[in-house]
Amino acid sequence: MKRVVVGLSGGVDSSVAAYVLKQQGYEVIGLFMKNWHDDSVTISDECPWLDDSNDAMLVAEKLGIPFQTIDLSEQYKERIVDYMFNEYERGRTPNPDVLCNREIKFDVFMKIALELGADFVATGHYCRKGIISKDGNDVFQLLAGNDGNKDQSYFLCQLSQAQLSKTLFPIGELTKPEVREIAAAQNLVTADKKDSQGLCFIGKVKLPDFLQQQLKPKEGVIVEIPQTQEAYHQDAPIFNSEEEKLKYLSRKIQYSISDGDIVGKHQGAHYFTKGQRKGLAVGGKVEPLFVIDTNVDDNVIYTGQGKLHPGLYKKALFVSNEELHWVREDLKLQVDENMAVMARIRYRQNLQKATLHKVDSGLYVSFESAQSAITEGQFVAWYLEDELVGSGVIS
Which residues make Cβ contacts (< 8 Å) with residue 120, sequence separation at least 6? 2, 3, 4, 5, 26, 166, 167, 168
Give the residue, 43 or 275, on which the prediction is more confident: 275
Q: Report the alpha-carbon distance of residue 198 to residue 210 in Å, rounded.
A: 10
pLDDT band at 204 (very low <50, low <70, confident <90, very high): low
Q: Assess whether 299 and 187 both reside in one domain.
A: no
Residue 138 burial by CB count (10 A; 0-12/13-18/19+): exposed, middle or buried?
exposed
With CA atoms as reference, report the closest residue to 327 among 291, 253, 282, 379.
379
Instruction: Quote the domain boundaries for residue 103.
Output: 3-214
Which residues make Cβ contacts (< 8 Å) with residue 78, sequence separation at least 6? none
Please say if the pLDDT value at position 45 is more than 60: no
- CA distances (Å), 7 to each of 32, 52, 197, 222, in order? 6, 12, 18, 43
Q: What is the mean pLDDT of residues 108-133?
A: 96
pLDDT exceeding 90 applies to what percent of the chain? Answer: 78
Q: Assess whether 315 and 180 both reside in one domain.
A: no
Write down the pLDDT at residue 80. Answer: 86
How does strand 324-326 pair with strand 120-122? unpaired
* 145 backbone φψ class: left, alpha, beta (φ>0; ψ -120 to 50): beta
Write down the pLDDT at residue 205. Answer: 59
Q: Report the alpha-carbon distance of residue 317 to residue 345 in Å, rounded.
A: 10
Q: What is the mean pLDDT of residues 197-207?
A: 56
Task: Please count the structural domains in the chain.
Answer: 2
End-to-end CA distance of the chain: 46
Q: Let me know if 47 is a catalytic residue.
A: no
Q: Assess whether 124 and 246 both reside in one domain.
A: no
Q: Assess whether 202 and 221 both reside in one domain.
A: no
Q: Report the alpha-carbon distance of residue 138 to residue 146 in Å, rounded.
A: 23
Q: Report the alpha-carbon distance of residue 219 to residue 186 in Å, rounded.
A: 54
Contact 319, 393 (CB under 8 A): yes
With CA atoms as reference, report the closest residue to 106 among 122, 129, 83.
122
Sign of CA dihedral 313, 315, 319, 320: negative
- The pLDDT tens digits of the residues spanning 352-389 come to 999 999 999 999 999 999 999 999 999 999 999 999 99
Q: Assess whether 235 and 351 both reside in one domain.
A: yes
Q: Which residues of 246-273 are buried (b: 16+ CB within 10 A; e: fewer)?
A: bbebbeebebeeebbeebeebbbbbbbb
Please say if the pLDDT value at position 305 is more than 60: yes
Q: What is the mean pLDDT of residues 224-230?
A: 96
Please say if the pLDDT value at position 343 is more than 80: yes
For the chain, the C-alpha Rg in angstroms (whole number) is: 23
Provide the CATH number for the domain around residue 386. Answer: 2.40.30.10
Q: Assess whether 35 and 148 both reside in one domain.
A: yes
Catalytic annotation, pick one of 47, 127, 157, 200: 200
Q: Which amino acid is at 77?
A: K
Please say if the pLDDT value at position 336 is more than 80: yes
Write down the pLDDT at residue 58. Answer: 96
Q: Assess whether 189 and 275 both reside in one domain.
A: no
Q: Assess whether 229 and 201 both reside in one domain.
A: no
Write down the pLDDT at residue 214. Answer: 76
Q: Report the alpha-carbon distance of residue 43 to residue 207 in Å, rounded.
A: 11
Please say if the pLDDT value at position 118 is more than 60: yes
Q: Assess whether 289 and 392 both reside in one domain.
A: yes
Mean pLDDT is lowest, of 11-25, 31-45, 158-172, 355-369, for 31-45
Write down the pLDDT at residue 27. Answer: 98
Average pLDDT along the chain: 92
Write down the pLDDT at residue 201. Answer: 52
Mean pLDDT is lowest, of 50-54, 145-149, 157-161, 288-292, for 50-54
Residue 91 burial by CB count (10 A; 0-12/13-18/19+): exposed, middle or buried?
middle
With CA atoms as reference, report the closest residue to 131 among 175, 168, 170, 174.
168
Q: What is the mean pLDDT of residues 229-248?
A: 95
Give the residue, 91 or 61, on which the prediction is more confident: 61
Domain boundary residue among 194, 214, 234?
214
Catalytic annotation, pick one of 47, 100, 127, 157: 100
Give the residue, 347 or 46, on which the prediction is more confident: 347
Q: Assess whether 190 and 222 both reside in one domain.
A: no
Domain boundary residue among 182, 214, 246?
214
Q: Let me know if 100 is a catalytic residue.
A: yes
Provide the CATH number for the domain around residue 110. Answer: 3.40.50.620
Q: What is the pTM of this model?
A: 0.93
pLDDT exceeding 70 applies to what percent of the chain? Answer: 93
Q: Assess whether 152 and 271 both reside in one domain.
A: no
Write down the pLDDT at residue 202. Answer: 52
How does strand 120-122 pair with strand 3-7? parallel
Domain boundary residue among 214, 231, 256?
214
Q: Report the alpha-carbon distance of residue 140 to residue 133 in Å, rounded.
A: 9
Q: Assess whether 152 and 166 both reside in one domain.
A: yes
- The pLDDT tens digits of the residues spanning 124-173 come to 999 999 999 999 999 999 999 999 999 999 999 999 999 999 999 999 99
Please say if the pLDDT value at position 110 is more than 70: yes
Q: Report the alpha-carbon distance of residue 311 to residue 313 in Å, rounded.
A: 6
Write down the pLDDT at residue 302. Answer: 98
User: How many CB atoms neighbour CB 357 within 10 A?
Assistant: 22
